[in-house]
Amino acid sequence: MNIGDKAPDFKLMDKDNNEVTLSQFRGKKVILYFYPKDNTPGCTKQACNFRDNYPQIVAKGAEVIGISKDSAKTHTNFATKHELPFILLSDPDVRVIQAYGAWKEKKMYGKTFLGIERTSFLIDEEGIIVDIVNGKRMKAATNADDIIAGGFLD
């Protein structure tokens, strides 16, 4: 995926087993973020930063959607524990994660494996990717703060 590309539509289940598509948010800005795992330190900091900024994000007519491989049950526990008001989607087969290019080779503790690279896609009202935040630009604990400061919601 590149800036300027049309964001691929998808159909995934949320924590309440409701079907969610990206296209149902057409006309709104969307912060679509991919994260490795519920209830891990970095992912929790990132989710809580989105939670703390969610009223401001929604007031500007935007929506937040988080996607990981975790199950609906795990998402429910994560959302309840941290009072997350936004949508969490399960992609156990990593189809959407791969379509967005967030499934990468990673290294940890000397081992190489495939996993989710923490990535946020900023999608405009027409479904076009206007920015991609990952790699060195990605700071989990301030992801939402940085997106807001960057002017995406203006």
Q: What is the pLDDT along the chain (154 residues), one digit of tens a residue?
A: 899 999 999 999 999 999 999 999 999 999 999 999 999 999 999 999 999 999 999 999 999 999 999 999 999 999 999 999 999 999 999 999 999 999 998 887 888 889 999 999 999 999 999 999 997 778 989 999 999 999 999 8
What's the pLDDT score for residue 105? 87
What's the pLDDT score for residue 34? 98
Q: Which residue of the set 43, 57, 67, 148 is catalytic?
A: 43
Domains present along the chain, CATH in parentheses: 26-150 (3.40.30.10)
What's the pLDDT score for residue 118? 95
Is 43 a known active-site residue?
A: yes
pTM for this predicted structure: 0.94
Question: How many whole angstroms from its chain centre is CA 5?
Answer: 17
Q: Which residues contact 129 (CB under 8 A, 6 or more apart)?
A: 1, 2, 3, 4, 5, 6, 7, 121, 122, 123
